[in-house]
Amino acid sequence: MYDVMGVINLGEEHGSLEELTYYRNQASVPFAGKYRLIDFTLSNMVNSGIQDIAILAKNKYRSIMDHLGTGKEWDLDRRRGGLFILPPSFHHSNVKGDLQFFHQHLEFFIRGHQQYVLISAGHIIANVDYRPAFHFHKQMNADITVIYQDLDNNKELSNWRKIAIDDNGRVRALENKIQTIHSDKVSMEIFIMEKALLLEMIDTCTQDGECHVINSIIKNIEKLHIYGYSYQGYTANIDSIKSYYKHSMDMLSPTIWQDLFYQPRLIYTKAKNDPPARYLADSNVTHAFIGNGCKIEGKVENSILFRGVKIHKGAYIKDSIIMQNSEIGENAVIEHAILDKRTVITSGKHVIGEPDQPFVVSKRMRI
Amino acid sequence: MPSYDCVAMLLAGGEGKRLGALTKHIAKPAVYFGGKYRIIDFTLSNCANSGIDTVGVLTQYQPLRLNTYIGIGNSWDLDRKNGGVTILPPYVEKNGLRWYSGTANAVYQNLNFLEQYQSKYVLVVSGDHIYKMNYTHMLKQHIANNAEVTISVIEVPWEETGRFGIMNIDQENRIIEFEEKPKHARSNLASMGIYIFNTDILKLYLEKDEHDTLSVHDFGKNVIPAMLEGEINMYAYHFNDYWKDVGTIKSLWEANMELLKDQPSLDLHEYNWPIYSVNPNQPPPYIGPRAVVKQSLINEGSIVLGEVERSVIFYGAHIGEGSVIKDSVIMPNVKIGNGVRINKAIISEEAIIPDGCNIGNEEGEIILIEEEMGNC
């Protein structure tokens, strides 16, 4: 896919992860014991052979810049091309919506040698090969290809954009805020089109003030040949605390983690240098991810521990997610909770949520 | 321009004969340790943490894996515009190819590498030992003593003095005598094979040694005794912390087991002295619903479905359901089937242990399993 430019569009992040996005954008929320949400989309692009990738940042992007660095971990520190983080500019503009961020970096899109672009959101969890979709796009002679999935029970906790597709595979309707549609198919928010069409959309939108990628597509749904490409593998849309919690817990199911992490295509992330996790004599761990650098003296059940977490004696962690460098004191009990980075739960404290309403402790809090 | 006060020469060509099958395809410094490391990580991290960022790594025996592993040195922050890590293998010159015939000869053949940095001091270390040491402290003492050579020494049990090069020192820490593996030692200060030389003195004695036809061109056996004879200013630097030569299967196993104590004498978690290593991209480790893990180290990329007690598990290891692993070291990408019992063993990289195998026992010797096992 040498001829395709990748764009991860963080200009239009849907949903809210509440406490987890106080200090970071959605795409950089930690996930599955060592990743950030963006790792999945970025790795998919790299694994599909895309060599130029732009990240359109909107706000709270310190964390994502720190995470991505020079793009080395994704093999994107290239002499030519590679990773480009494109931050927003703060001049006053009448045009609103995510296309304004494309417009602000018009030069980047004009200069790129690729004929095509693949635009994706940054908070979709999947291990997808985009190459068959690109092949499909060319074969159908499509103006735009949208990757979609069938709606199933697994998806009920997230707000997916519904998509209507006719028997010939043509997209007939896409949902937006104004228009709801009935369909059993949902968009994975991955679009393939010619760069020329994107430039045209940017140009038109700056003239008439209508500036969303999605609306520009919807507006032209009759005029353009928009096709749907069906993807069958595991997919999650992390757009709320509930979906974050549920899909994190999904990761403990062997079929799901094998689908995501044991493909020939690996998910890459920023490597850290922690020693292996240390389990002491009193530890009792079942059904869990335990990141490197952890020190476990207590009981951990059905949980995900990121790197460098300390669980002291007698502490009991159940059905919970504990992020980097947090510390759980002696005899503390954590159940159905999400603890952000560097939180400290002192001895004997109980932090207990509900299965459908996990208790969230924000970054650096001390209880 | 950096001043290159001290350049390190890291001897990494050791064959490690006593490690048997573990060093069939790799040099001793490349042998795995502690769930994610190779032995050489300790010396390279010590260099990086001590601020010595120009390191020549002398390789000879089975260098491929080691070369690949070290790469441009970025894992240890040693990928520098000036200096950084340089692999120094034996090379061909006008008069033909010369293998490194001894530790001293290896450095002698790379004097041109040292010359380009014009450093005042040279640190000679080996990649065979596990320890954390700040070489800057040793260098400071070397300068304060106005020494020409400083050798790092450690107290060893008297009954083991016969295995080491023993230093006899005076009250001012001046080395007055050196005995290689003495039968009746008069001191229990063993050389750790860590030397700081003034570059000019080192050059002088390496050239002398090269022309000595009786010499085996070894630092301990030839160069240091010659320097003592030449009344060079030679001092001992006392090191009192953890230092281990993991030269045998038993000592390698012991060193791994020591990491599992509640207060291990070697702390891999120390924030101010990190041990760097290459971090391959691995998914988080999965501890299964019926797994039991006690007193162990478990690295990323492993899958534990059985029982693990007092063991060290490297990345990519897979431990099947109902298997029980005790007092063992499971190296990278080992696949252990279901219902396997392993006791006091080292399972070498990529080995495959079929279902129902029974390896080792509580009382016996440490067992080394090298490759794929047939049926049990």
* Residue A32 with chain B: CB contacts under 8 Å: 284
* A271 to chain B, closest Cα gap in Å: 6
Which residue has 């340790």 as its token pair? B33
Residue B34 φ/ψ, nearest 5 degrees = 70, 30
In chain A, positions 148-187, which contact chain B (CB-CB < 8 Å)? none
Q: In chain B, which residue's Cα lies nearest the Cα of A289?
A: B286
String of DSSP letters for A134-162: HHHHHHTT-SEEEEEEE--GGGTTS-PEE
* B108 to chain A, closest Cα gap in Å: 35
Average the pLDDT over each of B11-25, B171-185, B213-227 and give the range with the smallest value. Answer: B11-25
In chain A, pLDDT over 90 holds for what percent of residues?
Answer: 71
Q: In chain B, which residue's Cα lies nearest the Cα of A72?
A: B74
| CA A162/CA A167 separation, integer angstroms | 16
- For residue B357, give the amino acid letter: C
3-state SS class at A359: strand
Estimate to the nearest angstrom the gap between the alpha carbon of A240 and the chain centroid: 12
Closest CA to A144 of A222, A237, A202: A222
* Residue B268 with chain A: CB contacts under 8 Å: 275-276
Q: Does A141 touch chain B (CB under 8 A)?
A: no
* Residue A262 with chain B: CB contacts under 8 Å: 283
Q: In chain B, which residue's Cα lies nearest the Cα of A34?
A: B284
Cα angle A160, A164, A166; round to 5: 150
Q: Does A257 touch chain B (CB under 8 A)?
A: yes
* Residue A249 with chain B: CB contacts under 8 Å: none
Query: Do the chains contact at B287 and A34, CB–CB below 8 Å?
Result: no
Confirm if B149 and B232 have CB atoms less than 8 A apart.
Answer: yes
Cα angle A236, A240, A241; round to 5: 105
Out of A130-139, A166-175, B111-120, give the one with best mean pLDDT.
Answer: A130-139
Check pLDDT > 60 for residue B1: no
What is the maximal distance between C-alpha atoms in chain B? 68
| CA A309/CA A34 separation, integer angstroms | 12
Q: What is the mean pLDDT of residues A304-308?
A: 96
Q: Could you read off the pLDDT of A197-206 as tens digits, one per residue? A: 999 988 888 7
Write down the mean pLDDT value for chain A: 91
In chain A, pLDDT over 70 holds for what percent of residues?
Answer: 98
Check pLDDT > 50 for residue A136: yes
Question: What is the predicted pLDDT for the residue at A321?
Answer: 97
Check pLDDT > 90 for residue A18: no
ipTM score here?
0.88
pLDDT band at A95 (very low <50, low <70, confident <90, very high): low
Question: What is the predicted pLDDT for the residue at A98?
Answer: 85
In this complex, the residue of B287, B290, B295 whose CB is nearest that of residue A290 is B287
* A116 to chain B, closest Cα gap in Å: 30
pLDDT band at A100 (very low <50, low <70, confident <90, very high): confident
* B348 to chain A, closest Cα gap in Å: 18
Check pLDDT > 80 for residue B194: yes
String of DSSP letters for B42-95: HHHHHHHHTT--EEEEE--SS-HHHHHHHTTSGGGT---SSSEEEEE---EETT
List residues in chain B touching A: CB distance below 8 A: 34-36, 262, 268-269, 274-277, 279, 281, 283-300, 312-314
Check pLDDT > 80 for residue B376: no
Q: Does A258 touch chain B (CB under 8 A)?
A: no
Query: Do the chains contact at A290 and B284, CB–CB below 8 Å?
Result: yes
Query: Do the chains contact at B293 and A283, CB–CB below 8 Å?
Result: yes
Sign of the Cα pseudo-torsion (B157, B160, B165, B168, in order): positive
Would you state the structure tokens that stand for residue A214, as one six-digit string?
């999605």
* A175 to chain B, closest Cα gap in Å: 35
In this complex, the residue of B274, B289, B313 whose CB is nearest that of residue A273 is B274
A207, containing H or E segment? helix A195-208
Higher per-residue confidence, B111 vs B21? B111
Estimate to the nearest angstrom the gap between the alpha carbon of A120 and the chain centroid: 9
3-state SS class at A216: helix
* B376 to chain A, closest Cα gap in Å: 28
Check pLDDT > 90 for residue A180: no
Question: What is the predicted pLDDT for the residue at A262?
Answer: 83
Estimate to the nearest angstrom the gap between the alpha carbon of A135 and the chain centroid: 24
* Residue A280 with chain B: CB contacts under 8 Å: 262, 294-295
Q: Does A283 touch chain B (CB under 8 A)?
A: yes
* B272 to chain A, closest Cα gap in Å: 13
| CA A176/CA A212 separation, integer angstroms | 11
Burial zone of A354 (CB within 10 Å; 0-12 exposed, 13-18 middle, 19+ buried): exposed
pTM of the model: 0.91
Which residue has 């573990």 as its token pair? B22
| CA B262/CA B125 separation, integer angstroms | 30
* Residue B279 with chain A: CB contacts under 8 Å: 271-273
| CA B246/CA B254 separation, integer angstroms | 9
Confirm if A185 and A149 have CB atoms less than 8 A apart.
Answer: yes
* A141 to chain B, closest Cα gap in Å: 38
3-state SS class at B255: helix
Question: What is the predicted pLDDT for the residue at B107?
Answer: 95
In this complex, the residue of B284, B295, B296 whose CB is nearest that of residue A33 is B284
* Residue B284 with chain A: CB contacts under 8 Å: 32-34, 289-291, 304
Would you state the structure tokens that stand for residue B148, as one six-digit string?
């020409």
Q: What is the mean pLDDT of residues A31-46?
A: 96
DSSP state of B220: I
Q: What is the mean pLDDT of residues A234-258?
A: 92
Q: In chain B, which residue's Cα lies nearest the Cα of A258?
A: B283
* B283 to chain A, closest Cα gap in Å: 6
pLDDT band at B129 (very low <50, low <70, confident <90, very high): very high
pLDDT band at B18 (very low <50, low <70, confident <90, very high): confident
Question: What is the predicted pLDDT for the residue at B2?
Answer: 46
Query: Do the chains contact at B300 and A291, CB–CB below 8 Å?
Result: yes
Query: Do the chains contact at B298 and A283, CB–CB below 8 Å?
Result: no
Residue A114: CB atoms within 10 Å: 19
| CA A27/CA A68 separation, integer angstroms | 11
Beta-carbon contacts below 8 Å between A and B: 100
Q: Does A353 touch chain B (CB under 8 A)?
A: no
In this complex, the residue of A261, A268, A279 whose CB is nearest that of residue B294 is A279
- For residue A289, give the amino acid letter: F
Would you state the structure tokens that stand for residue A125, as one six-digit string?
């969890």
String of DSSP letters for B277-292: ------PPPEE-TT-E
Beta bridge partners of A193: A117, A144
* A33 to chain B, closest Cα gap in Å: 6
Q: Does A253 touch chain B (CB under 8 A)?
A: no
Residue B22 φ/ψ, nearest 5 degrees = -65, -25
Query: Do the chains contact at B281 and A266, CB–CB below 8 Å?
Result: yes
Complete domains list, chain A, with CATH: 4-261 (3.90.550.10), 278-361 (2.160.10.10)
